[in-house]
Amino acid sequence: MTAAHEPNEIDGPHEGPIKTPKQLILAVLYAFVVPIFGIILLVMYVTTETRPSAGSDARAPKSIAERIRPVGTVEIKDATDVASLKTGEQVYAAQCTACHATGALNAPKLGDLDAWAPRIKTGFDALLHSVLKGKGQMPAQGGGDFTDFEISRAVVYMANQGGGKLAEPAAPVVGASAPAATTTAAAPATPVATPPATPATPAPAAPVVAETAAAAIPVLYTQACSVCHVAGVAGAPKLGDKAAWAPRITQGIDTLVSTVVKGKGAMPPRGGTTANDAEIKAVVTWMVGQAK
């Protein structure tokens, strides 16, 4: 006979934790609600630092415009508007004080006669060239975005504060008008009785030739050419130097334009710009006109 098989825990019936329909409904509900609630709490925790506090203006149009504004901006200056250009003192206050007020990086302090004396002896052109091109730890134009004329004003201001007697640089030529003719009043003559003469036929009036004012400074000259032609850098003829320009003028405008287009010596092709032939011819013609 075989022994009777006794039931054990393995053979017994299996029962889960859910025994009623109510428990099933609650289990399904919690399976959805708890994860969603956890995700919401996690999102709130992650975004807490960037969320604007109560009463802030983070969502105001001005604040939004500030957050989305471009990283870089472009400012266009009219180099022919002399009234809008900064004075030497203004340029110094805006850009140069960082080093020249304290003597940082061995920069000569403003008003230090001993430090400025040997520099002033080199002359205005040398000082301006150093600032425009940069020297030592000083970047080109002192790291600013001023025009060459504004930089030259700052150079004169600082040098004169250090004991120099440099003349204020002349403003850029934006136009010239013909000087008014001086009229000298003649002394009244003693009247003499003469017989009436037959009126003569009036002579034809001489043709009036209009005088054209000097053309405004080309933008290309201000942006590129002035870097060398203001101070005579690398042998470039200074603007208005008749002796330096005379042999060049005899070559003709077309030859000068061709030289600029191809480049010569330290001057790269087209002066290092992307100007077209017409623009280059215009600025060359203007520069030649300043030396006549």
CATH 1.10.275.10 given to domain 219-290: no
Structure tokens at 70: 């471009």
CB of 221 closer than 8 Å to CB of 264: no
109 class by beta-carbon count within 10 Å (0-12 exposed, 13-18 middle, 19+ buried)? middle
Which own/partner pairs from 94-99 qualify as long-range (CB within 8 Å, at least 24 positions apart)?
94/144, 95/142, 95/143, 95/144, 95/146, 95/154, 96/142, 96/154, 96/158, 99/138
Structure tokens at 271: 């002066």
- pLDDT value for 117: 92
Contacts of 245 (CB under 8 A, 6+ apart): 237, 287, 288, 291
- pLDDT value for 230: 78
Greatest Cα pair distance in the chain: 183
Structure tokens at 77: 């200056």
CATH 2.30.42.10 given to domain 82-161: no
Q: What is the pLDDT along the chain (292 residues), one digit of tens a residue?
A: 455 555 555 555 556 777 888 888 888 888 888 899 899 988 888 776 666 666 667 778 887 887 787 766 666 666 555 567 888 888 888 888 878 888 877 889 999 999 999 999 988 888 888 888 888 778 887 777 788 888 888 899 998 998 998 888 877 654 443 344 333 333 444 444 444 444 444 444 333 333 333 346 777 777 778 777 877 777 888 888 888 889 988 889 899 999 889 888 878 888 878 888 888 898 898 888 888 8
CA 3 to chain centre: 106
- pLDDT value for 240: 84
- Quick: pLDDT tens for 148-160: 888 888 899 998 9
> For the chain, where do the domains classified as CATH 1.10.760.10 start and end?
82-161, 219-290
Global confidence as pTM: 0.38
Query: Which residue type does 267 have?
Result: M
Measure the CA–CA gap between 279 and 53, rounded to whole angstroms. Answer: 56
